[in-house]
Chain A
Amino acid sequence: MGRFLARRLLHLGPVLLGVSVIVFLVLHLAPGDPAEVMLGANANKEDLERLRVQLGLDQPLYVQYFTWIGHVARGDLGRSLWMKRPVLGEVLERFKATLLLTGTALFLSTVGGIALGIASATRANSLLDRLSAVASLFGASMPTFWLGIVLMVVFSLWLGWLPASGMYAPYGGGDLRDLLAHLILPAVTLAAASVTIIARLTRATMLETLGQDYVRTARAKGLGDRPVVWRHALKNALIPIVTVVGVQAGYLLGGAVLTETVFAWPGVGTLVVQGILARDVPLVQGGVLVIALSFVLVNLAVDTLYAWLDPRIKFQ
């Protein structure tokens, strides 16, 4: 187990290096550079050249890349070309907000999805099951930004129950209660698509598991519904669910950017999008590296979880 983890962690280096090369190249292959984007329509030749020199863009590509990677190796992600602020602090600060939002959404979609899936499976073809099927279809096909705006209009504008955007009230707030109030709408919006996917999958695997011989045997022993479903069937049905939850975690991390934009949530997604539009290479690199790192760690956690769920799976 320890050796397995160590080996997997060693893979991190090449993966992140690969990610950084790809991001660097893609940003440089896209037309337009930071100087051009900054000066926009008003640009004149001298200002462009001057700004390119000030931003270090007159250096050959490989020099720019190696200068940057050299700094990264020393734990310095550089400064944003635009904001002139240190990238590491900026990205980590924003990443905390993304993690909170994604974590909450993942919790909501996993718990909600599994509960809904089990309920549907144990009462297959009931009214609840059908309603949940319709709701799932709806949830999976609704675009995030649309759902976000609808929830905002209903719960903020009409009912006045929850704040419309931001992470804390600009004054007065700042406590846990304020944070929770701001978190609910974006977290529910973000969780909507995942909850339906997890629910449908849970229903399918639970139905399959409940039809197995050992479940019949358990029932024959005289066990009630609850221990059969929760203790015997669920744990065995969990493996595909864990896989999907892991995939959803990555999806939520990446998908958070739309929700963050709609609700002015100060996450890393909006920061990276701003960076891409500005061709701010160090900023985008920093943001993508942090997201990639967390994605790899989630995958590792999922792999580790398999073994706990199914003793037949061994680490090699």
Chain B
Amino acid sequence: MKIGRLLGLALLLPLALALGAPVNAQPVGTLVVGLVAEPVNLDPAQVTDFNSNRVGRRIVEPLITFAEESTKIEPNLAESWTISPDGLQYTFKLRKGVKFHDGTPFNAAAVKFSIERQINAEHPANKIGKYPFANYFFGNVKSIEVMDENTVRFILKEPRASFLVVMAAAAASMVSPTAMMKAGVDFASAPVGTGPFRYAAWTRGQHVTLEKFPDYWKGAPKIDRVIYRPIVEDQARLTELLTGTLDLIVGVPADFVAQLEGHAKVNLLKQVGAHVWYLGINNSKKPFDDKRVRQALNYAVNKEAIVRDVLKGTGAVSRGPVLPGTWGAEPNLPAYPYDPARAKKLLAEAGFPNGFSTSMWVPESGSGMQSPVAMAIVMQSNLRAVGVNVTLQTMEWGAYIAKLRTKEQELFALSWAAGSEDPDMVMYPLFHSSQWTPNGPNRAMYKNEKFDALLTEARHVTDQAKRAALYREAQKILVEDAPWVFVDHEIQIAATSKRVQGFKLHPSFDLRTETVSLR
């Protein structure tokens, strides 16, 4: 049996070798983060997904930023700003002495470059990138003027009170013009900005490594390096955290939350994100053009049960599109409680005492979609209980998004991550009638002239208290009209090893590793 013995040895040798391999102790100063997916690239103006932004936003940063744990705006690379009385000119005073990672100075010309590369097709850097949200964010920018080295002025086509929030978006981050023109197309893989960390390495499929920028204008981060590892499988991410090879994971699945709560090795963090998950209703299609039918659907769906049993506490029931507790949210928004009897009564009043049949489109997965199919199944059975027979159609995300442009949808599951608490960032695109698909994302085909007028006015006044009053009134109209079934706001869940100190989740879904120190 010589061959057999030899083979046995050949099989066992690697095992013995491997088992002897010591588990490497984590080096001091290195934070290892488990991401749900690999970043596409690291230039936030050129990506649309959370995971890319979570890494890229460490390298580049915008003029304005959000405060800790909220989306209130704060000065960042801009020290201050003034707005002309007509709301058309925004003049930013830039912070002096800030340098990009390549040593070139950050100045007004760099601001002009960073935004113009996205919107001006003739700009030399336009061809070497692709800018998905150029029009959505900056379509309203008429011109950008360099006033002096440290002053830059944006001139808008129309007033838009949320413009400062736009300037805090990831896509409004500042890049080094010298570095981008030198690197060309490859800039997106290794961008150069002014942020707390600079690009160090990227081994595809394995990890992206950033290292601290010692000359960061706010002071260098306390950790030396952050390693981001893409690990798609939930169990693998969790195992790595529990065995100490990962320090921080986000997107902890609902089923694992109970297991991690009070675990000796990890800290669990939760926070409601600026996000809303909804069941869209095509308001322009019969029978949904009748408000009573839409209200009936809202009464019929048991949102508490979805949040409790499907999402297991990773969602908070929503009453409207705006994040509760923020300046623009109407605090006394009436809710649609779970009330099947009332739903049936409303359907009967609308002429459907025996209900009707319809279809519901649901993506299998998708950014911010939580557990779409499981949630849809609950809604389907809720609706059947009041006589509405729903056929579920599940689709792959890419096919789903394309299908939604046909306007054939009846009921459809979608979510929206505004990234900010400003109501303009969620109410305008999703409900203003100028945003009907395919022009914009108003796929519910909702239109109410009074509502439209309130939203337009709220864009034109810059005083926040006045804007808040307008938005609050608009939300009351919206809830009464019930263009969607309002379902939930996602509660983000992160878990960290005990050695991670000072980490806080952010409602914009950003992952601010620069605040971390390691014990």
Nearest A residue (CB) for B404: A41
Contact segment of A156-164, A236-244, A288-296? A156-164
How many of chain B's residues have a CB under 8 angstroms from any CB in A? 78
Q: Is A120 an interface residue (CB 8 A)?
A: no
Asked if B204 and A94 sit within 8 Å, CB to CB, the answer is: yes
Asked if B440 and A115 sit within 8 Å, CB to CB, the answer is: no
A165 with B401, Cβ < 8 A, contacts A45-B439, A51-B130 known? no
Determine the main DSSP class of A at the interface with B: helix
Residues on the B chain within 8 Å of A90, using CB: 204
Q: Is A303 an interface residue (CB 8 A)?
A: no
Asked if B48 and A39 sit within 8 Å, CB to CB, the answer is: yes
Asked if A36 and B185 sit within 8 Å, CB to CB, the answer is: no
Asked if B204 and A93 sit within 8 Å, CB to CB, the answer is: yes
Asked if B239 and A156 sit within 8 Å, CB to CB, the answer is: yes
Asked if A162 and B205 sit within 8 Å, CB to CB, the answer is: no
* A150-203 residues at the B interface, CB under 8 angstroms: 152-153, 156-157, 160-173, 176-178, 180-181, 183-184
Interface string of A22-37 (1 = CB under 8 A from B): 0000000011110011
Interface string of B198-236 (1 = CB under 8 A from A): 000001111100000000000000000001011111011
| Contact-residue bracket for chain A | 35 or more
Q: Is B491 an interface residue (CB 8 A)?
A: no
Asked if A32 and B185 sit within 8 Å, CB to CB, the answer is: no
Min CB distance A230 to B, Å, is 7
Asked if A180 and B14 sit within 8 Å, CB to CB, the answer is: yes
* B1-50 residues at the A interface, CB under 8 angstroms: 1, 3-4, 7, 10-11, 14-15, 17-21, 23-27, 30, 32, 37-38, 40-41, 46, 48
Asked if A181 and B130 sit within 8 Å, CB to CB, the answer is: no
Interface string of B387-402 (1 = CB under 8 A from A): 0000000001111111
Residues on the A chain within 8 Å of B133, using CB: 39, 42, 47
Asked if A84 and B130 sit within 8 Å, CB to CB, the answer is: yes
Asked if A184 and B18 sit within 8 Å, CB to CB, the answer is: yes
Nearest B residue (CB) for A280: B40
Q: Is A282 an interface residue (CB 8 A)?
A: no
Q: Is B143 an interface residue (CB 8 A)?
A: no
Min CB distance B129 to A, Å, is 8
Q: Is A226 an interface residue (CB 8 A)?
A: yes
Interface string of A106-150 (1 = CB under 8 A from B): 001001100100000000000000000000000000000100010
Min CB distance A193 to B, Å, is 18
Q: Is B416 an interface residue (CB 8 A)?
A: yes
Asked if B398 and A45 sit within 8 Å, CB to CB, the answer is: no
Residues on the A chain within 8 Å of B178, using CB: none
Q: Is A82 an interface residue (CB 8 A)?
A: yes
User: How far does the alpha carbon of A38 sit from the alpha carbon of B26 in the complex, in Å?
Assistant: 36
Q: Is A2 an interface residue (CB 8 A)?
A: no
User: How far does the alpha carbon of A230 sit from the alpha carbon of B240 in the complex, in Å?
Assistant: 45
User: How far does the alpha carbon of A56 sit from the alpha carbon of B396 in the complex, in Å?
Assistant: 24
Asked if A84 and B401 sit within 8 Å, CB to CB, the answer is: no
User: How far does the alpha carbon of A141 sit from the alpha carbon of B341 in the complex, in Å?
Assistant: 47
Partner of A166, one of B130, B206, B243, B439: B206
Asked if B205 and A271 sit within 8 Å, CB to CB, the answer is: yes
Partner of B239, one of A30, A36, A164, A277: A164
User: How far does the alpha carbon of A189 sit from the alpha carbon of B14 in the complex, in Å?
Assistant: 16
User: How far does the alpha carbon of A263 sit from the alpha carbon of B440 in the complex, in Å?
Assistant: 39
Contact segment of B76-84, B134-142, B158-166, B346-354? B134-142
User: Can you give 6 A-B contacts (C-beta < 8 A)?
Assistant: A51-B130, A83-B40, A111-B7, A180-B17, A183-B14, A264-B229
Q: Using A55-B130, A162-B19, A168-B206 as known contacts, list a sample of 4 further A-B pairs with CB atoms less than 8 Å apart, ordered by residue number in A.
A: A41-B401, A44-B441, A50-B131, A160-B23
Q: Which 4 A-B pairs have the closest CB atoms?
A: A266-B205, A32-B398, A172-B24, A181-B18
Chain A interfacial positions (CB closer than 8 Å to B)? 30-33, 36-48, 50-51, 54-55, 79, 82-85, 90, 93-94, 97, 108, 111-112, 115, 145, 149, 152-153, 156-157, 160-173, 176-178, 180-181, 183-184, 226, 230, 261-267, 270-271, 274, 277-279
Chain B interfacial positions (CB closer than 8 Å to A)? 1, 3-4, 7, 10-11, 14-15, 17-21, 23-27, 30, 32, 37-38, 40-41, 46, 48, 129-136, 139, 185-186, 188-189, 203-207, 227, 229-233, 235-237, 239-240, 242-243, 245, 366-367, 396-403, 405, 414-416, 429, 435, 438-441
